[in-house]
A = this chain, B = another copy of it.
Amino acid sequence: MPQSETRLPARRADAERNRDKILAAARDAFADPEAEISMAEISRRAGVGMATLYRNFPGQQELLEALYSDEVDAVCDAAATLEAQTAGELLTAWLRRFFVFFNSKRHVGTELLRHSSDNASFLSENRDRVLAAAQPLLDAAQLSGEIRPDLTLVQLLDMVIAIATIHGDPSYVEPILRAALDGLRLRPERLLDERG
């Protein structure tokens, strides 16, 4: 965001840059299955001192929560910014975005659950934000008659999450996701029947 940076006093811009660097480093660390996740490792990867790291995030829990919130922000934003030809295509595009989010946030979520027993409310608030952002997409897609009416958003997300947990590289899982998303489309049964 170069525009806002030029308007910010230099020190605030530096602080924002540091926060972004730390979050990016933490994201990388979580994406690296070999990485030892610790504040020292994240400080090293971000290229910021421990004092700066702790000024931004008093502990690993706060860092994990910020990371998680950022990813939830992005998946919620996508519900407002993704573009598609039809309401049904918009919904499935967003479900694909949620699939990517779920795959990437899995480690963070698991770490979060391990590090604290009282962040259930944090997780459920984020879950509610995702549901609130996506519900209008499902409503519009079902109203348009493109998407089957017999599934709720929670059921759709559970389906996507279940597929995201299938072991295998993306080329193995992708056709499964494609088929399942295709199954959400309401079929013109009469056309099919006349054809058969």
Identify the A interface with B (CB < 8 A): 86, 148, 150-151, 155, 158-159, 162-163, 165-168, 172, 175-176, 178-185, 187-188, 191-192, 195-196
Contacts and interface: CB of A to CB of B under 8 A. Distances in A.
Contacts of A168: 158
A196 B86 contact: yes
A188 B192 contact: yes
Contacts of A183: 178-184
A195 B184 contact: no
Contacts of A159: 163, 166, 176, 179-180
A126 B178 CA distance: 29
Nearest to A180: B180
State how many copies of this chain the complex holds: 2
A162 B195 CA distance: 32
13 contacts: A148-B179, A150-B178, A151-B175, A151-B179, A155-B172, A155-B176, A159-B166, A162-B165, A162-B166, A165-B165, A178-B183, A188-B191, A191-B192
Contacts of A191: 188, 191-192, 195
B188 A175 contact: no
Most buried by B among A150, A166, A180, A192: A180
A182 B150 CA distance: 13
A175 B155 contact: yes
